[in-house]
Structure 1
Amino acid sequence: MAMMEEILPTRGYSIPLVDLDGDEGRHVVVDREEGQYLGHVSTQLLEDGKTILAVYPKGHGRGPIVYKRSTDGGRTWSDRLPTPENWATSREVPTIHRVIDPKSGAKRLIVWSGLYPARLAVSEDDGSSWSELQPVGEWGGIVVMGFVERLRDGTYLAMFHDDGRFIASKNQAANPRVFTLYQTFSHDGGLTWSEPGTVWSGSDLHLCEPGCARSPDGKSLAVLLRENSRTRNGYVIFSDDEGQTWSPPRELPASLTGDRHTMAYGPDGRLFISFRDTTHDSPTKGDWVGWVGTYDDIVQGREGQYRIRFKDNKNRWDTTYPGVDVLPDGTFVVTTYGHWDEGEQPYILSARFTLDELDKRAGLRD
């Protein structure tokens, strides 16, 4: 990985902002229930290029898992689908991931549910049926999992964080609070997972909610991190050896400062990242935003090309644990929750766009 030039992070950004908040027809309601909090959504696009599965809790960060399907690339969504009985006992935000068995080639879907103990549900038929949530070990954590990344040898790497409260059966929280990033590996296509190992730990920074991008050449991983003390920008760590070792955390530009970074590449090799805006100086602070740039922008500490506001959140912070999916034609389908109407409970929206479309809005092309 090339060394970056020294660029000191700022509290604000200078790149253009594309505002899609008022676009008629841009947003699709995935789910809404009068008086009920719906939040923290996670999605997975299947290999047919049009089926998207979504899971999310009935409640803030915890509650029964709701499950829905779109069969037309996010334009319309099913009614709520049946789920195993103990999905109603989920205590944390669910996350859904595609995994492939490295020996048999069998494709599976897995749904994680965190806190202690971390639990896992498995589908062997592309989400038509599911197992109940089962503990994966004598450990737990927060936002289990931030991401699940397939490594070059077919192993899966997953990462989460904890502040001492949920990593073990007994509360181990310290004062001052210590945040720890953990990683775990699966060698059998997501069925079993290793005892978590520490990636980073500290109390001076509160690093959490990891989101991962692999470099275009496939040789390195970048993990973007939320900084929860709100005193610094977001951070990034890098690995050049498939997660065996990680660089020290480095502060990100303000343009990438936010919570719950979720990302995917567009057809031209540029990177799109969706997140909650927690930039210190930003006209869209607390809103559902995105960023367009390159992997090298992250390596070099550059601001990127432009930002996007997808929707104005009527709460000062509570929004955007996002799903990001890219259809075969290059259309992005991004899905999240937020307080979209003043005084109402949050609900789930989806939005569609292409990078070419956003480039024109940002003034990068005619």
Structure 2
Amino acid sequence: MYFLLTGLLASTFLQNEKSAGLPVIDLSTDTARQVVVAQGTADIYNGQPTTALMPDGKTIHCVWTYGHGGKCGPAKSSSDGGFTWRNEPVPANWITAGNCPAVYLLPDPAGKLNLIVFAGYGPDKNMQQAVFNDGGWGPMQSNGLGPVGMPFCTIVPVEGGKKLLGMTNRRRPGEMVEKKSCILVQSISEDGGFTWAPLRTVLDTAGLKPCEPEIIRSPSGKQLLCLIRENVKKVSLYMVSNDEGRTWSAPVPAPEPLWGDRHKAKYSTDGRLVIVFRDTGPASATKNSYMAWVGAYDDIIHNRPGLYRLKLLNSYKTWDCGYSGIELLPDETFVATTYIKYRPGENKNSIVSTRFKLAETDQLLTAISTQ
């Protein structure tokens, strides 16, 4: 079924976001939190990374592109929770795949974990994927899904781990009316992400352009919530499923502090949600920044603003940031990694990570609020 619709430093400060009534803690000037994974230069533009944390709790894999939505190829890994990074070699044919590679650690029905990266297109114009085996990346191969605008933006286990649900966006097949239409489609894998069923449309909003979904499972485990970027009105949406993604509700606007692009979510150990994204709120005081929202799952469902927001990094090129990975380390440190024009000057976008603990930001909020 689908719907067809019309660091506790003096330089860190608190500001009131007038558009949402939610406090914003600015961590963007605290360079001690930040690590440059890949430096942009006057000639090299690094774009749209994603990350995956391995079961050892300290190894992080990161993949991205050269150029905005460009060719795959650059890859690095960290063995110390994101403090230092080393290059990872990839097969030569990765350069034939492109657009926003997304890396996931995926369980198969028996519980075995496999590291797989997906890319938006390849020589056959379909989605591509590559598997990490024996300590190295394998070649990109078509999985037959497409054409799509992006690789899977989100993949979650469903039906008790028996299957995986992957969701992304594509142009409406056979489009003759809307320029650059965008609809949401999903697929199911029953073998841990190696093969996928044909794409199925789950959201087609005539007049709107939904894309870049992020699926979050409720704390009870009984519901899936899908956050959605929307490219026409710039009001982020969400829809829910109570049957493991077989059907979805009609989309409705998300709380205003979550209006943005390419949301990625992670639960903290105390059950709060941390969602990172590019801020696109029309009236937001932090528009175009790389942000994190802190709140509860029910805040979204009940249209509450949440607890507070974090300005993680400042973009020196307006909107061009925000695709990211978000990982939670065993010591409760969140490591958020994005692409961004990190400093003024001629250098193009870099891959940059920043780190924070909610225990820190909670204390900072309390301390400054009482001053």
TM-score by length of 2: 0.90
Picking from 219, 241, 250, the partner of 1:216 is 219
Which residue in the other structure is 1:189 paired with?
Answer: 192
Counterparts of 1:11 and 1:306, CA distance in 2: 13
Picking from 127, 133, 137, the partner of 2:140 is 133
Which residue in the other structure is 1:16 paired with?
Answer: 23
1:33 CA drift (Å): 4.0
Contact 1:213-1:221 within 8 A present in 2 as well: yes
Counterparts of 2:279 and 2:236, CA distance in 1: 11
Counterparts of 1:13 and 1:214, CA distance in 2: 25
1:232 CA drift (Å): 4.4
Contact 1:254-1:280 within 8 A present in 2 as well: no
Which residue in the other structure is 1:330 paired with?
Answer: 332
Q: Deviations over 1:176-208 (max 9, x none)?
A: 243210000100011100001011102222111
Alignment length (residue pairs)? 346
Q: Deviations over 1:308-350 (max 9, x none)?
A: 1011101121101010000011110110110112242000111
Which residue in the other structure is 2:90 paired with?
Answer: 83
Counterparts of 2:71 and 2:45, CA distance in 1: 10
Counterparts of 2:276 and 2:193, CA distance in 1: 25
Counterparts of 1:266 and 1:143, CA distance in 2: 28
Matches within 5 A, 1:91-240: 91-103=98-110, 105-115=111-121, 116-125=125-134, 128-137=135-144, 139-151=146-158, 152-164=160-172, 172-177=174-179, 178-229=181-232, 231-240=233-242
Q: Percent identity?
A: 38
Picking from 28, 53, 57, the partner of 1:49 is 57
Matched, 1:63 2:65: no
1:138 CA drift (Å): 5.1
Picking from 353, 356, 360, the partner of 1:357 is 360
Counterparts of 2:348 and 2:280, CA distance in 1: 21
Counterparts of 1:13 and 1:254, CA distance in 2: 6
1:29 CA drift (Å): 0.7
**Counterpart amino acid of 1:19?**
D
Which residue in the other structure is 1:5 paired with?
Answer: none
TM-score by length of 1: 0.91
Counterparts of 1:21 and 1:67, CA distance in 2: 25
**Counterpart amino acid of 1:131?**
G
Which residue in the other structure is 2:81 paired with?
Answer: 73
Unaligned runs of 5+ in 1: 1-9
1:356 CA drift (Å): 1.0
Q: Deviations over 1:231-264 (max 9, x none)?
A: 2410001011100000000011210000000010
1:106–1:316 distance in 2 versus 1, CA, 3 Å: same
What is the SS of the residue equivalent to 1:110?
Answer: strand
Greater strand percent: which structure? Answer: 2
